[in-house]
């Protein structure tokens, strides 16, 4: 495996500030793309360790930064389409991979799902959805993938999973009593959950990469 190199992809954004997407290269034909949550950047635990997992499996890695993050402002619902387009533009700059693995958290699951459903790239796309929003359900049905959600998450209920459970291309994993950040009562319990989630992320890579 080649040495790991990190480069920044710098782009202007609708929010008036440049974004700096981190692109880790280690000579792979597979790119893992991390789509953060609304208020959950790639540096927070679930996505941080998912990215580490990607690198350990020998993949290249793209950590997306959202323009409103850089501008230190809030995301408005009417700007979701703009955010999706900016993510698509970033992906276009790293075209040429044979396989794409999308990892989305919360709002990022909607963007990842839409881009996976509408991708005109010849690359195969596999998806991992961490604490998805109910708006992502139609895209999960189309793209398939692994879904990990909390049993106490108010943004994704058992009713939202009802249409997914019978699908052969979707694997559902419920973390009992976990909230939207997949955290539970105490720090130690939350760390134990993080280990469980990391094992499921490893399973996602194992399936996607056939290893």
Q: Which of 1-5, 20-24, 139-143, 207-211 has the lowest mean pLDDT?
A: 1-5
Residue 23 bridge partners (DSSP): 7, 62
- pLDDT exceeds cutoff 80 at 14: yes
Rounded to whole angstroms, the Cα distance separating 156 from 132 reads: 7
Task: Note the pLDDT of residue 121.
Answer: 67
What is 105-170 written as a DSSP string? ETHHHHHHHHHHHH--SSSEEEEEEES--GGGHHHHHHH-EEEEEETT-TTS-HHHHTTTTT-TTE
Q: 176: closest CA among 162, 160, 197, 159?
A: 197
CA-closest candidate to residue 29, choices 89, 90, 95, 87: 95
| pTM of the model as a whole | 0.95
Q: What is the mean pLDDT of residues 3-27?
A: 95
pLDDT, residue 122, reads 65
Model pLDDT for residues 136-189, shown as the tens digit of each residue: 999 999 989 999 999 999 999 888 898 887 888 999 999 999 999 999 989 999
Dist. CA 79–CA 189, nearest whole Å: 36
C-alpha gyration radius of the chain: 16
Rounded to whole angstroms, how far apart are CA atoms 82 and 91?
A: 14
Percent of the chain whose predicted confidence (pLDDT) is above 70: 97
> How far is Cα 79 from Cα 71, in angstroms, rounded to an integer?
14
| pLDDT band per the 50, 70, 90 thresholds, residue 3 | confident
- Looking at the structure, give the CATH architecture of the domain made up of residues 5-209: 3-Layer(aba) Sandwich (3.40)
Contact of 22 with 45, CB cutoff 8 Å: no
Across all residues in the chain, what is the average pLDDT? 93
pLDDT at 7: 97
Give 124-133 pLDDT, tens digit per residue.
899 999 999 9
Q: Give the pLDDT score at 1.
A: 45
Dist CA 72 CA 54 (whole Å):
28
- pLDDT given for residue 2 in this prediction: 55
Tens digit of pLDDT for each residue in 102-121?
A: 999 999 999 999 999 887 66
DSSP β-bridge partners for residue 5 = 25
């Amino acid at each position: 495996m080649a040495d790991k190199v990190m480069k920044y992809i710098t782009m202007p954004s609708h929010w008036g500030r440049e974004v700096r997407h981190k692109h880790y290269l280690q000579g792979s034909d597979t790119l893992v793309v991390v789509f953060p949550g609304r208020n959950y950047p790639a540096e927070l635990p679930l996505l941080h360790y998912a990215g580490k997992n990607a690198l350990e499996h020998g993949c290249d890695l793209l950590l997306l930064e959202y323009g409103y993050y850089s501008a230190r402002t809030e995301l408005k619902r009417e700007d979701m389409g703009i955010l999706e387009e900016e993510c698509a533009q970033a992906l276009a700059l790293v075209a040429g991979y044979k396989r794409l693995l999308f990892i989305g958290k919360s709002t990022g699951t909607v963007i990842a799902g839409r881009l996976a459903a509408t991708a005109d790239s010849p690359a195969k796309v596999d998806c991992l959805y961490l604490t998805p929003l109910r708006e992502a359900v139609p895209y999960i049905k189309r793209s398939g993938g692994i879904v990990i959600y909390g049993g106490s998450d108010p943004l994704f209920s058992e009713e939202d999973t009802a249409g997914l459970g019978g699908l052969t291309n979707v694997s559902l994993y419920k973390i009992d009593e976990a909230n939207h950040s997949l955290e539970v009562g105490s720090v130690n319990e939350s760390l134990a959950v993080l280990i469980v989630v990391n094992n499921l992320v490893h399973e996602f890579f194992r399936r996607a990469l056939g290893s």
